[in-house]
Amino acid sequence: MPRIRALEPADAPAFQAFVRALSAETRRERFLGAVHELGPGMLRQLTQAASPEHCALVAISEGAIIAESRYALDEDGASGEIALVVAESWRRLGLGGRLLDAIVACAARAGLARLRGEVFRTNVAMQALVRKAGFELRSHPRDARLAEIDLRLAPRSLLKSAIELTGNPLQEPASLNQS
């Protein structure tokens, strides 16, 4: 069973290998454009140490990164942009849902009021995943190829997530590392 943990700067080579191993279509869906590999600056930015402004989680199996979820704080300081990708061979096994739940809990623990993002309209699996998690989907105002996703988060005082119980927004509870 894959283990979920925070992405660390030392993971840069493994994260680059993960991105390179994704299909061209999956990389396009994750980065909303054509990407073969990450440049040094982008790789450094994506593997920086976690903070309340940025949280990145990865799923690891047999030492390899097989999935990633993250949020980055928006300029308003109250919302964050979310991203999630699962390697093709690990899809439809519940891993995307586990990672989505974990990153939502991390964002709520950090005090964010909202998570938002953009998804290609053709990415039906991702739309179904976020809709199941309670995200609202709506038309993108400037790009007909995209849909906007949006989730209002519960106030921290009401949050009863397993991650909150650990006392650390970056430490996932053992239950996230089980089926």
CATH number, domain at 89?
3.40.630.30
Is the pTM above the cut of 0.95? no
| CA separation, residue 32 to residues 6, 55, 56, 61 (Å) | 23, 20, 18, 26
The answer to whether residues 144 and 118 touch, using CB atoms and an 8 Å cutoff, is no
Q: How far apart are the C-alpha atoms of 169 and 166, rounded to whole Å?
A: 8
The answer to whether residues 164 and 110 touch, using CB atoms and an 8 Å cutoff, is no
Helix (H, G, I), strand (E, B) or coil at 39: coil
Print the domain residue range for 69: 3-177
119-128 b/e (C-beta count within 10 Å ≥ 16 → b): bbeebeebbe
110-164 residue pLDDT tens = 889 999 999 999 999 999 999 999 999 999 999 889 999 999 997 654 444 444 4
Into how many domains does the chain fold?
1
Q: How far apart are the C-alpha atoms of 14 and 63, rounded to whole Å?
A: 9
* pLDDT reported for residue 168: 47
